[in-house]
Chains A and B, each alone.
Chain A
Amino acid sequence: MSSIVIGNNTLDRISHLPPNIIEQILMRLPLRDAIRTSILSHDWRYAWSSIPHLAFSWQEFPLSICNYSQVNFDRKLVDIIHQVLLLHQGPIHRFELSIQLRSSKDIDGWLLFLSRNDIREIILHRWEGEVYKLPSCLLSCKGLRSLSLHRCMFRPVHFQGFPRLASLFLRSVAISQDGLEALITACPLLNKLCLIDMFDFGGLKVCSPSLVNLTFVGEHIDLSFENVPLLATLSVSLTVKSDKYYAAPGVICKLFRILYHLPSIKKIVLGGQAFKVWTYGELPIQLPCTYQLKHFHATVNFKDMQEMFAIVSLCRSCPLLVTLELEARFVMPANHETPVEKFWNSQQSFDCLFSQLKILEITGVSCILELPFLKFVLANAPVLETAYIGFDYRLKTELDITREMIKFRRLSPAAEIKILKRKFRNASSMWA
């Protein structure tokens, strides 16, 4: 290779940019390319070693670089990460390890190294291998602001909490119920909490004065809220294995009980069977009036009277509801006729019902049973702007339903009905 070394190289501009700019350029590159710049020239040899974000993700380091041999891949990757960490200078603010690394014995050492280097964000997603037990040095990362774990084991003992932790994402993490509750309570700045597919424990009591955003996906457990004054967004998706729904007689259903404890709630998203489970029970006679709830998304069964009752009660208790999105759960048609139409026709319109509703979305429409609800809303929403209708992908023809829909009377002069494009399969827009 011929070398283009000219004594005072005036052509080379990029190497003389100020170091903060070079760092910005290198941070925008994938890690592999950034490290490769070390062989470009003398000035670039260690330019990459001070970038504060290190991300080893499966896109950049796929298994194919070792011809799909897991053993070689493990060894090679461990070497790479060792070298990168050893050559790195300066603080590391973000470390991501979401890669198909089977062996986990080296991760302890890396986490120890990171805890001494002012780490602020850790993303540890393990796709392969055994569940990784997090070492205690993780608890000593005092500057941690964001933690994201997938398939790990976390046993915080005598833990004072992360003083700066703002975002916590746990997926399939083995942690005891007490440990998790203590962790949530102990982090004073915890803003966003996301729990997905946690290994089962009986219930979870959320008590966090700073929590704003909570997402829970998994099996049905008894979720309760003790002190969440700032919680603004609640997204829950539950799958139910057993048939027991904790239906004690005379107990008000969960949804309304929860509304009492959520003073600042603005958006509720209930997916899976969460709505069904949470509306099982009695509906309160005295409805709570929540003035903050603006957006409500749920997956409901339009043929179930209990759920329909619950929807109406909910809309009555949230006079300022702006967006209502319901996804129809496909249920096998029962033998008996459900008196849906009679039910909706008998519903009177209340004073504040739908008074602020601007957007209505009903997806998964598969038969005309969902229509009476639409008719009810259209007839009672004075400021409705758009009603989106999405059809279930199994529906043979939309024409009959559409023909019925056109006839509905609309209270709001600006209301439009828009038919959503048919997707290949029902993709829930709630979790996008």
Chain B
Amino acid sequence: MLIDADVVCGIGAIREGREGSFVISLVEGTLLLSSVTIFSPATDATNLVVGCFLTLSDGLSAYLIHADDLAPPPCHQTPWTTALLVQRPTPAAPSTGSTPRRPSSLSAGNASTTSARCRPVLLSSVRMRRSLPPLAAMGPPPLSFSTKSGRRHLFQREYGCRQGNLASRDYLVAALESFYGQCTSVPAPFWTCSWEFGTLEISGACFCIPMSENEKAIIKPEAMKPFIWLQCADGSIQQVEEEVVMFCPMIYREILQTGMGSSQNSAICLPDRVNPAILSLIFEYCRFHQVLGRSNKERKSFDEKFIRMDTKKLCELTSAADSLQLKPLVDLTSRALARMIEGKTPEEIRETFHLPDDLTEEEKLEPLKNVNDDPRIRLLNRLYAKKRKELKERQKLKDIEAEEEKKDERSVDEILSFINGEEDSKGVNAIKSKKKNRKKRDSHKDISGQDSTRLKNKKEANFSPSASQCSDARDNDDDTFPSNGEFEDGDIDDLDPAVKEELDREVEDFARRLNSDWPERMQEFLSLGQNQKLVPNRASSHGSLHETTGPIKLPLLPNSCD
């Protein structure tokens, strides 16, 4: 076996004594070298890996050359496509006994350590970066390098032993031997390598190595990059290019920490919120942005186009990006969602996002009436009022206790005003006058702006502290509210329609509650005392004291009364 483990990572001495790191993996019988980086002080030498001497198991060593070494530096992080596999000679033994498996080639090569002859041998072509047909069909790109003596040698890859044929390898070695002159030996594991444009100079010991079964490279014609395997929550497994995947911090961390993802069996599990369709979108984003050379303008225009999708997908994308901790994508999508919400009416927003319209009308109007109070909401209120009016017409026949209610309310009001203090008396009077209006229906009193605003202030002050509790309680009363009588909208013009609705509703609520439990509740009112909030019990449906509604006017803020 050439390599024991599936993945071998290591720090090797690379090129002129610099250190670097790499990952070699064996995938489907093919050697892959990836994630090669050089820790180099020189800025332009980062990721420029020209030659790399690696130590594998079994005393085997490898020297790898980039297939595109004809391209001028700097090379980028493309994977290696050529492996020049060599074996390190055993330094002590001058004989060839150390490698009995290897026939003549090595014996010739390892004649002596003192005068080690270097024979760069190209043995296997690991993967082709360009989409080329298998080597058998056509000649590979030429690899040329010169020895220290200055000679430049070109040899074709077809010398490479594609089928692991020992015989042909020997032939190769023999052929090469005749080509090469002497190379000075360099103490392993360092190679000195100099890079010149288009040529690679190797000096040092090179050896032949045996090709094992695993090296039968199946050259895949398509562009090969290291792939990471990912598994979605629904079980489907897919593979994605590594450089794309590395853009996601979460996956990157998982790969580093657990080392998984390199094969189908050890696929990295993605969080629940990611499904395959969204995953492909995410990787489309990553694929674009992980390329370093793009300008800001390009990235922005890509983002603009990318974000054009329906809201359902956008929400899923946001959720998935959040679970993968891909912050730039989260920012982009939340900005897009905010743009969709901004400036729209609530109806439009509900339509866009398919939100359920499950708030009661009262809840919509409280507690932030002033902020929500724009012409559209006023229109809404008028619609509600009209609706209530219709319902009221229908239930007119049931309303037989109008006289009784009125009488009761008045007495309650007096008592309440006594309990609450003088400040509220005017407010209660306003309610009283409103009730008279309701009765008469054809004439309306002019309620001064001052009263209305005071009422308004009081109402808001009342609602704010009890808002959160109100919502639950009021939900249950949704059906009963519209059944009570209401004012006609538009009768009283100088009041805010929202305020009118409030008043109406409170009046009805009050009336209804008074109808049910009048004597007992009076006891409670009187016993509760002035400092606590006087909370009338809910009508028969709930019996506890803990629910609160707040139509009772309490002097909460001193400056709310002018």
Binding site for B on A (CB under 8 A): 1-6, 9, 11-18, 20-21, 24-26, 28-30, 32-33, 35-46, 65, 75-76, 79-80, 82-84, 86-87, 105-106
B460 contact set on A, CB distance < 8 A: 79, 82-83
Residue B239 at the chain A interface, CB threshold 8 Å: no
Query: Interface on chain B toward A: helix, strand, loop, or mixed SS?
Result: helix
State which residues 219-236 of B face A: CB under 8 Å: none
User: Which chain A residue has the least Cβ–Cβ distance from B380?
Assistant: A1
The answer to whether A12 touches B342, judged by C-beta atoms less than 8 angstroms apart, is no
Q: Shortest Cβ distance from A246 into chain B, in angstroms? A: 49
The answer to whether B338 touches A36, judged by C-beta atoms less than 8 angstroms apart, is no
Residue B354 at the chain A interface, CB threshold 8 Å: yes
B334 contact set on A, CB distance < 8 A: 21, 24-25, 28
The answer to whether A28 touches B338, judged by C-beta atoms less than 8 angstroms apart, is yes
B367 contact set on A, CB distance < 8 A: 83, 87
The answer to whether A38 touches B368, judged by C-beta atoms less than 8 angstroms apart, is yes
Q: Shortest Cβ distance from A331 into chain B, in angstroms? A: 43
The answer to whether B368 touches A87, judged by C-beta atoms less than 8 angstroms apart, is yes
The answer to whether B337 touches A35, judged by C-beta atoms less than 8 angstroms apart, is no
How many contacts A-B (CB < 8 Å)? Answer: 136
Interface readout for B335-373 with A: 1 if CB under 8 Å, 0 if not? 101100111001101100111111100011001101110
The answer to whether A11 touches B322, judged by C-beta atoms less than 8 angstroms apart, is no
Which of A20, A28, A33, A87 is close to B464, meaning CB atoms less than 8 Å apart?
A: A87
State which size class the interface on B falls in.
35 or more
CA distance A106 to B457 in the complex (A): 15
CA distance A28 to B340 in the complex (A): 11
A46 contact set on B, CB distance < 8 A: 468
Binding site for A on B (CB under 8 A): 311-312, 315-316, 318-319, 322, 330-331, 334-335, 337-338, 341-343, 346-347, 349-350, 353-359, 363-364, 367-368, 370-372, 374, 380, 383, 453, 457, 460, 464-465, 467-468, 471, 557, 559
CA distance A25 to B319 in the complex (A): 12
The answer to whether B350 touches A35, judged by C-beta atoms less than 8 angstroms apart, is no
CA distance A45 to B467 in the complex (A): 11
A33 contact set on B, CB distance < 8 A: 341-343
B370 contact set on A, CB distance < 8 A: 76, 79-80, 83
CA distance A262 to B334 in the complex (A): 45
The answer to whether A14 touches B315, judged by C-beta atoms less than 8 angstroms apart, is yes
- Residue among B359, B372, B374, B468 with the highest chain A CB neighbour number at 10 A: B359
Which of B353, B363, B383 is close to A45, meaning CB atoms less than 8 Å apart?
A: B363
Which of A17, A37, A75 is close to B318, meaning CB atoms less than 8 Å apart?
A: A17
Which of A11, A16, A18, A35 is close to B368, meaning CB atoms less than 8 Å apart?
A: A35
Q: Shortest Cβ distance from B250 into chain A, in angstroms? A: 15
B368 contact set on A, CB distance < 8 A: 35, 38, 80, 83-84, 87
Using A5-B357, A105-B559 as known contacts, say yes or no to A39 and B346 having CB atoms under 8 A apart. Answer: yes
CA distance A432 to B347 in the complex (A): 41
User: Which chain A residue has the least Cβ–Cβ distance from B464?
Assistant: A86
Q: Shortest Cβ distance from A106 into chain B, in angstroms? A: 8
CA distance A35 to B372 in the complex (A): 8
The answer to whether A4 touches B350, judged by C-beta atoms less than 8 angstroms apart, is yes
CA distance A18 to B334 in the complex (A): 12
Q: Shortest Cβ distance from A26 into chain B, in angstroms? A: 8
User: Which chain A residue has the least Cβ–Cβ distance from B316?
Assistant: A13
